[in-house]
């Protein structure tokens, strides 16, 4: 599954592997659900390959877990106990991310590789929904002949919601490719870094469990992608996106409500009731603004969501 053309010397090369659960996709319908999937991407010149797989009982990977880090009672030295555990995957559907890491003896960049994978996860989830990449359950560096686990993520479990997809339409996959290629091609490096950082904060919001932290990361992503625009400036951006006036943005796009959530949280310390339907609102608000910043054609995702999901803002 790992492309051979990534490496010339396989003995001195490795790849980074991530495994996500994809819900609610039954194993016997993977081909049906993912018939339009686009599985090859490039982020910051790093190729990333997706594989949608149905695993059977018996598939296992090893992980190294840290024990309790402590100071030795006699010599005062730090002790970091580790143990080797085995992860047994239940029979189900999964999405694998593969990316080259060490290449022909040249050591990989851990931070950049993880940032690139985070960025692709964020882009895919904007269009395809959070359920498509529901939970990151494994992450590790592997050689082609032997594997070594780097670290493993996640204890919290998100409940399935219809507004989180999966939305596996062909045009959504194509839109994800458009976003990645447009970001890769940005000549303005400052803008490129800003947009990449906004996607990293989006990805953090998607994966974190507590609602107030989710809101913090999503609003931060909106702030970064719009270059720290004021709420009125973002209002004007939305007016341009939808070719409508201020009243339309404030009411039909619920911008007054969104700004109220922001003021309650950041100025008054009120915890937001940030359920999944409201989370999807902020995801699509971010997507509309991201496309605007990249000077891509408006697609009206936020308005479509509001119109097609009555009751999205109910408590």
Picking from 5-14, 159-168, 177-186, 207-216, which range would have the lowest pLDDT averaged per residue?
Answer: 159-168
With 0-12 / 13-18 / 19 or more C-beta atoms within 10 angstroms meaning exposed / middle / buried, residue 68 is exposed
Paired with 192 in beta bridges are none
| Burial environment of residue 59 by CB neighbours within 10 A (0 to 12, 13 to 18, 19 or more) | middle
pLDDT, tens digit (0-9, with 9 covering 90-100), for 30-64:
999 999 999 999 999 999 999 999 988 778 887 76
Mean pLDDT of 131-142: 92
Q: What is the DSSP letter of 142?
A: E
As a whole number, mean pLDDT of residues 126-146 equals 89
Reported as a single tens digit per residue, the pLDDT across 92-124 is: 999 999 999 999 999 999 989 999 999 999 999
* pLDDT for residue 116: 95
Q: 235-283, pLDDT tens digit by residue?
A: 999 999 999 999 999 999 999 999 999 999 999 998 888 888 999 999 9
Measured between alpha carbons, how far is 237 from 182 in angstroms, rounded to an integer?
20
Q: Is the pLDDT of residue 150 over 70?
A: no
pTM above 0.75, yes or no: yes
**Which contacts qualify for 170-177: CB closer than 8 Å, 24 or more apart?**
170/36, 172/127, 172/128, 173/36, 173/37, 173/38, 173/127, 173/128, 174/38, 175/127, 175/299, 176/38, 176/41, 176/123, 176/124, 176/126, 176/127, 176/128, 177/38, 177/41
C-alpha dihedral sign at 197, 203, 205, 209: negative
Tell me the H-state helices in the chain: 30-33, 110-128, 170-184, 189-207, 211-225, 231-242, 246-251, 255-268, 276-293, 301-308
Mean pLDDT of the chain: 90
């Amino acid at each position: 599954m790992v492309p051979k053309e990534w490496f010339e010397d396989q003995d001195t090369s490795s790849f980074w592997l991530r495994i996500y659960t994809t819900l609610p996709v039954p194993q016997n319908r993977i081909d049906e659900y993912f018939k339009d999937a686009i599985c090859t991407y490039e982020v910051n010149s790093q190729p990333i390959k997706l594989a949608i797989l149905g695993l059977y009982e018996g598939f296992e990977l090893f992980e190294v877990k840290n024990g309790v880090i402590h100071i030795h009672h006699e010599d005062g030295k730090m002790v970091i106990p580790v143990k080797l555990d085995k992860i047994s995957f239940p029979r189900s559907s999964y999405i694998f991310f593969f990316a080259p890491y060490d290449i022909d003896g040249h050591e990989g960049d851990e931070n950049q590789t993880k940032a690139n994978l985070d960025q692709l996860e964020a882009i895919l989830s904007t269009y395809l929904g959070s359920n498509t990449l529901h939970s990151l359950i494994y992450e590790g560096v592997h050689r082609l002949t032997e594997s070594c686990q780097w670290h493993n993520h996640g204890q919290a479990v998100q409940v399935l919601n219809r507004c989180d997809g999966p939305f596996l339409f062909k045009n959504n996959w194509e839109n994800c490719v458009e976003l990645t290629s447009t970001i890769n091609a940005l000549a303005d490096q400052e803008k490129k870094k800003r947009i990449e950082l906004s996607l990293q904060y989006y990805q953090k919001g998607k994966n974190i469990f507590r609602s107030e932290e989710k809101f913090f990361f999503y609003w931060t992503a909106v702030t970064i992608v719009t270059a720290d625009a004021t709420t009125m400036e973002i209002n004007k951006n939305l007016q341009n996106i939808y070719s409508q006036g201020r009243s339309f943005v404030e009411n039909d796009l619920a911008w007054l409500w969104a700004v109220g959530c922001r003021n309650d949280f950041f100025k008054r310390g009120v915890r937001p009731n940030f359920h999944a339907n409201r989370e999807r609102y902020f995801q699509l608000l971010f997507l509309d603004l991201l496309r605007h910043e990249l000077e891509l054609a408006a697609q009206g995702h936020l308005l479509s969501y509001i119109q097609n999901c009555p009751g999205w803002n109910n408590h």
